[in-house]
Structure 1
Amino acid sequence: MVHTEAKCLCGASRISWETEPSFNFRCHCTDENHLAGNGFSNNYYIADLEDTLKVLNPSFKHWTQVVQSGNEMTNHFCGECGSLVYRTSSGYPGFALKVGNIDDSGKVNKEYVPDVEIFTRSRAPWMEPVEGATQSEADFTKEFLARYFG
């Protein structure tokens, strides 16, 4: 088991977890244009939310919206600096962690390769698909989720 921590930009909001990611994914949904200031976001998907995620600082706030898939997506962000750290969805268990928030993100960014790309219908035309990654025009498919969640 591995212990990993992530934080917001100012450090007031921190989380930790004790498991490896289920998979890596890159999301090209149009919400990422607003959330991250660019057309995609690199994420770890960690399936075991309740037994794994520990909120280390109480500075988190959240807001929920209905997203393109029809699921309710809750954004967990720092109440001080506004950095989005992770997201949860009504469509699947666990949480999606924004990879750049991991304490050792320099190392993670060098080693990170997406297993899956979702919402590829919104991918910037100049951006090539990640070789070997599963491609999905929308959110995770039922078949894909069944592979990880039965």
Structure 2
Amino acid sequence: MASSTIDKSKPYFPLAGGADDGWSTEDEATATCFCGAVQLSFPTHGPGYVGSFICNCSDCHKLTASVHATNFTVYDTHLKHLRGRDNLKTYSQSRTVFVKTPGKDNTMTNYFCSTCGSLMYRVGAAFPGMSILRVGSVDDFSLHETKLRPTMEQFTKDRVAWKAPTEGAKQFVEDGLHVQ
């Protein structure tokens, strides 16, 4: 079936990876790694949902092996580990694009599935109490176009020239997450 014929206003769970038990409701949905060993649930709107954004920073280029990342942020108090928490491995570093004050803790920690390598989320000193998840890990693909559609695009200075600005998203030359 061509994507143009899919009703993206309704839940849509295409074959994607090794798991087939993802779900979504009006208020909550799942994100699963490629092999299915790790599954999270998260709110799809407030109070636990913070927002969705495109990031073109150099960290996201390298971490995703792509030219940008499509992310969303939730409060840690609302992120649930449904399975596989013990299967997550971490990689942390403090040399990131979010250094604002020399000497300040700037560690970003990445949580990967140890079986398939899928990045499930990031936590950082610059984002206390929040986790940054990847929209691509969300099981219900209709949410990619609806509730998780990015409202902001940051580090546009590092966006590749052939990628147009994200339609409808507020544009930031650098860090848009810490702008008041």
Secondary structure of the residue aligned to 1:92 is coil
Q: Which amino acid aligns with 2:50?
A: S
Percent identity over paired residues: 34
Q: Choose from 119, 124, 130 the match for 1:84.
A: 119
The alpha-carbon deviation at position 19 of structure 1 amounts to 5.1
> Structure 1 length as normaliser, TM-score?
0.84
Distance 1:140 1:85 in 2: 22
Q: What is aligned with 1:101?
A: 137
**Distance across 2 between alignment mates of 1:115 and 1:138:** 15
1:45-124 paired onto structure 2 within 5 Å: 45-46=73-74, 48-49=75-76, 51-56=77-82, 57=84, 58-66=86-94, 67-70=96-99, 71-93=106-128, 94-104=130-140, 106-111=141-146, 112-124=148-160
Counterpart of 1:62 in 2: which secondary structure?
A: strand
| Deviations 1:36-70, CA, capped at 9 Å, x for gaps | 22110111121x21x21122222111111121112
Whichever residue aligns with residue 33 of structure 1, its letter is: H
Measured in 2, the distance between the counterparts of 1:28 and 1:90 equals 20
The Cα RMSD (Å) is: 1.8
Q: Indicate if the aligned counterparts of 2:39 and 2:81 stay in contact, CA closer than 8 A.
A: yes
Match of 2:51 in 1: 23
User: 2:143·2:149 contact (CA, 8 Å) conserved in 1?
Assistant: no
- Where does the alignment leave 5 or more consecutive residues of structure 2 unmatched? 1-25, 100-105
Aligned to 1:148: none
Name the amino acid aligned to 1:140.
G
Deviation per CA, 1:113-150: give whole Å up to 9, x if none.
31111111110011111233222222235433xxxxxx
| Structure 1 residue 17: Cα displacement | 2.3
User: What count of residue pairs does the alignment treat as equivalent?
Assistant: 141
Considering fraction of residues, name the structure with more helix: 1
- For 2:122, give the aligned amino acid: R
**Cα distance in structure 1, aligned partners of 2:98 and 2:125:** 10
1:81-135 alpha-carbon deviations (Å, 9 max, x no partner): 111011111112311110111111x212333431111111110011111233222
List alignment gaps of at least 5 residues for structure 1.
Answer: 145-150
Q: TM-score, normalised by structure 2?
A: 0.71
Distance 1:142 1:32 in 2: 17
- Structure 1 stretches (4+) deviating beyond 4 angstroms? none
Q: Distance in 2 between matches of 1:40 and 1:18?
A: 23
